[in-house]
């Protein structure tokens, strides 16, 4: 199981807490994340995470490539729908790819909970 973890700046703390709460389940997955998010996740958990470039440098596109190549089974992208900044990853391209390739994409904590509970139970 290969899972991508991404978060807009204002949602990074929420993703850190989520990953800490679900560390046992997430440790069973092959994880990848955008650069800054991956670095922070590894600082607060013992998870092994393949870090892509940071969002502004194309990390979201690298994850998109993994989706297009059928090398990703799910995406958790905690997005900030109200104050996302122009330098942050754009969810629209990833959403389109996930829909084309029938990959689940969680955009908030409630859907992330459902995704993890379905994949790892």
| Structural domains in the chain plus CATH codes | 2-119 (3.40.50.1380)
The burial class, CB within 10 Å (0-12 / 13-18 / 19+), for 73 is: middle
Query: Model pTM?
Result: 0.93
The answer on whether 54 is annotated among ligand-binding residues is: yes
Contact 19, 11 (CB under 8 A): no
Q: Which residue has the tokens 């940071």?
A: 54
Active-site annotation, residues:
60
% of the chain residues with pLDDT over 90: 80
Q: What is the mean pLDDT of residues 60-86?
A: 90
Residue 37 annotated as part of some ligand binding site: yes
Residue 56: per-residue pLDDT: 85
Residue 20 known to bind ligand = no
């Amino acid at each position: 199981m290969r899972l991508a973890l991404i978060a807009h700046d204002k949602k990074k703390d929420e993703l850190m807490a989520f990953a800490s709460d679900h560390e046992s389940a997430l440790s069973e997955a092959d994880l990848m994340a955008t650069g800054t998010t991956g670095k922070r996740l590894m600082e607060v958990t013992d998870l092994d995470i393949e870090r892509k470039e940071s969002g502004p440098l194309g990390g979201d596109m690298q994850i998109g490539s993994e989706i297009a190549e059928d090398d990703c089974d799910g995406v958790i992208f905690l997005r900030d729908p109200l104050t996302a900044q122009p330098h942050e990853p754009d969810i629209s391209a990833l959403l389109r790819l996930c829909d084309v390739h029938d990959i689940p994409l969680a955009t908030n904590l409630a859907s992330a909970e459902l995704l993890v509970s379905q994949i790892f139970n």
